[in-house]
Amino acid sequence: MLAAVPVPVTVRVPGKINLHLAVGDVRDDGYHELVTVFHAVSLFDEVTVATSDVPGVEVTGDTAAEVPTDATNLAWKAVELLGRHADHDTDVKVVLRKGIPVAGGMAGGSADAAGTLVALAGLWKLDLTREELAVMAAELGSDVTFALHGGTAVGTGRGERIVPVLSRHPQHWVIALARQGLSTPTVFAELDRLRAASETESPVRAVEPVLEALAGGDPRQLALSLGNDLQAAAVSLAPDLRRTLRAGVSAGALAGLVSGSGPTCAFLCDSADSAVEVAAELAGAGVCRTVRVAHGPVPGARIVDENEPP
């Protein structure tokens, strides 16, 4: 008798913004020591894995052409890593439906890797603990662990050590997607260059005000404490971001900042209605490729139950 082919598994996984990103020194392994506050927002990728005679990665969505489908794709690296770990054939097709901007500073590639780990664990019926998954996630990339967890969390080390943060209140965002991406290593290198050229030591950004604002839930207080050390480097490489940031605040956002290494910008708004208004005005200002309304925090990588309403 032939073995039954397992039913394909689909996972939904969110993108992130960094409410706080303090970049420290470069370590011996080339990574920077970080203290960051990750916040998962409602821009999702969907990852479907299925047993296939033609293994590989397929990408759909408007930005599909920008995503590699060869072995350099982090989702395929996740297949290989879990295949080795579980001693399982990698006869799988991974289909990525992109909703998270590509090379946008929202950890879209990391989200796909986290989604693939969770989906394959389901497809192959592996009994893995959250900790085992987290160890593999950290091996794949600095932001992959957070994409598994979602919510709001402090990240330390190179970003892979995660501690959840209490934030019961939803926050409303407008996300401005840029016309062109920025490479994360290039943005970190630009920050190193700017720091080396500067005569003064930059002050260390404190995380406590962000944590207090999140616990309180008042978006106006949170707006005052948002900050990202990589923003100056992203703006230095893509100076048009200054106009985007100004336009969001002129449109009525409480604050705007570059997300991670950019060039995506995130604007905090004081309500869902305000976010819709800010998005409409920003879309008309001609300062970005497109805008999305989002909220956070949302959960990390989760298997989609086909019977559940979207």
Known catalytic membership, residue 143 = yes
- Helix or strand (DSSP H, E) at 118: helix 108-123
How far apart (Å, rounded) are the C-alpha atoms in residues 255 and 226? 8
Inter-axis angle of helices 130-140 and 74-86, nearest 10: 130
DSSP letters for 29-86: TSPEEEEEEEEEEEEEEEEEEEE-SS-EEEEESTTGGGS--STTSHHHHHHHHHHHHH
Tell me if 79 contacts ligand C5P by CB under 6 A: no
- Quick check: 205 binds ligand C5P (CB under 6 A)? no
Q: Which is nearer to ligand C5P, 142 or 152 (CB)?
A: 142
Contact segment (CB under 6 A) with ligand C5P among 5-13, 181-189, 194-202, 203-211 equals: 181-189
Q: Residue ranges of the alpha helices (H) in 170-271?
A: 184-197, 208-216, 219-225, 231-237, 241-250
Strand partners, 12: 46, 302
Candidate ranges 8-16, 138-146, 194-202, 271-279; the one touching ligand C5P (CB under 6 A) = 138-146
Smaller CB separation from ligand C5P, 139 or 281? 139
Name the residue among 195, 139, 160 with its Cα closest to residue 34: 160
For the bound state, the minimum distance from the C-beta of residue 282 to ligand C5P, rounded and expressed in Å, comes to 28
Q: 270 pairs with which residues across the strands?
A: none
185 binds ligand C5P (CB under 6 A): yes
Q: What tokens were used for 111?
A: 């989200």
Cβ(124)–Cβ(8) below 8 Å? no
DSSP state of 253: -
Q: Is 16 a catalytic residue?
A: yes
* Shortest distance, position 108 Cβ to ligand C5P, whole Å: 11
Which residue from 44, 124, 146, 188 is in contact with ligand C5P, where contact means CB under 6 A?
Answer: 188
Q: Which is nearer to ligand C5P, 235 or 278 (CB)?
A: 235
CB of 20 to ligand C5P, least distance (A): 14
Q: From the candidates 45, 112, 143, 270, which is the catalytic residue?
A: 143
* 184: contact with ligand C5P by CB under 6 A: yes
* CA 162 to mean position of chain CA atoms: 14
124 vs 188, beta carbon nearer ligand C5P: 188
Among 9, 13, 21, 34, binds ligand C5P (CB under 6 A): 34
Q: By CB under 6 A, tell whether 16 contacts ligand C5P.
A: no
Task: State the minimum distance, in angstroms, from the CB of residue 184 to ligand C5P.
Answer: 4
- Considering only CA atoms, which of 279, 274, 245 is closest in space to residue 259? 245
Under rule CB under 6 A, residue 73 binds ligand C5P: no
Asked if 77 interacts with ligand C5P (CB under 6 A), we say no
User: Which stretches of the chain bind ligand C5P, using CB under 6 A?
Assistant: 31-32, 34, 141-143, 158-159, 184-185, 188
Active site residues: 16, 143
